[in-house]
Amino acid sequence: MSNLTPATNPCIFGADPLISRFLGYRLPQSMILSGPKGVGKATFAYHLARYLFQGKKETFSVDPETPLFGRVSMGSHGDLRVIQRELNTAGKMARDISIESIRNVVQFLQSTPLEGGWRIIMIDSVDELNSKAANALLKTLEEPPRKTLIILISHSLGRVLPTLKSRCIRYEMLPLNDCEMDKTLAHLLPQASRQERGFLISCAEGCPGRAVALARLGGKGFYEHFLKVLKGVSSGDLRPVIALIDQLLAQPEAEISYDAFGQFFSWWLARVVSFLSSPARAKDEEDAVVLALLHKHSVSFWLDFWPHATKILTQTQEYSLDRRHVLMCIFYEMMVGKTGFVF
């Protein structure tokens, strides 16, 4: 499994149309970079930061062997600030980005650039600002200092305040096509076979981050195991669920695996819901499992369960919920067709 992160990834695929809009052109001082989660927005933002810091207009890439690449990757460049959710005093991930983080941005912008060039603020993601932080950011967006770029990363533009959106130029990152995805996964997952990459591409819907998350869980082997678990759920047997949860939480990086499962499960539920608008006969094992579950409960249950399960899985750490309890409750809710067992 690749250890590359958006900060350390030296390659970017599928972003040529967006890159061409920046090479040699005057940049806005505030921008929103939007697109589905996992499509590569943060990776692009780091590449854009290095492009500006290197001061060259003719090339977007920076040699990964240079000190500049390393300093940006490690977060030690004096004129770059990356704002994300942080651990609170209890050691848990905060549920949002606080106003204190934005106040630190204001202080940073009031100081003199340490390296005499651009100062760059990256907020990943703007969807996670609390209301006070969002309002504080508005004042900064009104009159940012000269040679300042504020990059707001958004997975869901509908969650961003209209007043924030009105102060930024919006750029959208589109899902990658299959050819771009294959090149990306060959880079991110060099040990994966062509067959495995093909499976991941079919599941990821053009988002490399989703493919990597599924690969972290075990790829095609995990997916086949997951379908067997769902067969048990559809027939009222939770024993396979217990085995899956044990396997998931026993991994060395259980928190990362849990987050990866949350992304995967939300994607899978979206596929389930898509069956509601176009019912069909089962063409393969997956279709048969989905249809068995859909016939088990009402349409309204599945429409409610998708956002409910996604929200609970996302907020487990924020509310200090027990992961095993959350997973058991979610699968139990799927089995009985009723929500509300998590809390």
Q: By the 8 A CB rule, do 121 and 83 touch?
A: yes
Among the listed residues 57, 51, 56, the one whose alpha carbon sits nearest the alpha carbon of residue 12: 51
Among the listed residues 247, 250, 251, 289, the one whose alpha carbon sits nearest the alpha carbon of residue 268: 289
Residue 281 pLDDT: 58
Q: Give the tokens for residue 247.
A: 């396997």
Question: Could you tell me if residue 196 is inside a domain?
Answer: no
Question: Could you tell me if residue 197 is inside a domain?
Answer: no
Q: What is the chain's alpha carbon radius of gyration, rounded to the nearest angstrom?
A: 22
Number of domains in the chain: 2
Sequence letter at residue 1:
M
Q: Write out the chain's pLDDT in tens, 343 residues.
A: 567 899 999 999 999 989 988 887 788 899 999 999 899 999 999 999 999 999 877 788 899 999 999 999 999 999 999 999 876 666 667 778 889 999 999 889 888 888 878 999 999 989 889 889 999 999 888 888 888 999 999 998 988 999 999 999 999 999 999 999 999 999 999 999 999 999 999 989 999 999 998 999 999 999 999 999 999 999 999 999 999 999 888 887 888 888 889 989 988 898 888 887 765 554 677 888 888 888 899 989 999 999 999 888 887 866 778 899 999 999 999 999 998 876 5
Question: Could you tell me if residue 227 is inside a domain?
Answer: yes
Q: Cα–Cα distance between 171 and 41 in angstroms, integer?
A: 10
Question: Could you tell me if residue 138 is inside a domain?
Answer: yes
Q: Which domain holds residue 143?
A: 16-172
Residue 315 pLDDT: 78
Q: Give the tokens for residue 178.
A: 């299959």
- Same domain, yes or no, for 158 and 256? no
Residue 289 pLDDT: 87
Question: Could you tell me if residue 123 is inside a domain?
Answer: yes
Q: Give the tokens for residue 246.
A: 């044990």
Q: By the 8 A CB rule, do 120 and 81 touch?
A: yes
> How many Cα atoms within 13 Å fall on the side-chain side of residue 277?
5
Question: Could you tell me if residue 248 is inside a domain?
Answer: yes
- Same domain, yes or no, for 227 and 328? yes
Sequence-distant (≥ 6) Cβ neighbours of residue 80 within 8 angstroms: 49, 53, 72, 119, 120, 122
Considering the entire predicted model, what is its pTM? 0.88
| Partners of residue 32 on adjacent β-strands | 152, 170
- Same domain, yes or no, for 27 and 154? yes
Q: Cα–Cα distance between 149 and 29 in angstroms, integer?
A: 5
55 Ramachandran zone, left/alpha/beta (phi>0; psi -120 to 50): left
Residue 1 pLDDT: 54
Q: Cα–Cα distance between 125 and 129 in angstroms, integer?
A: 8
- Same domain, yes or no, for 86 and 156? yes
Sequence letter at residue 262:
G
Residue 56 belongs to domain with CATH number? 3.40.50.300
Among the listed residues 311, 298, 324, 297, the one whose alpha carbon sits nearest the alpha carbon of residue 238: 324
Sequence letter at residue 287:
D
Look at residue 116 and give its three-state secondary structure: coil
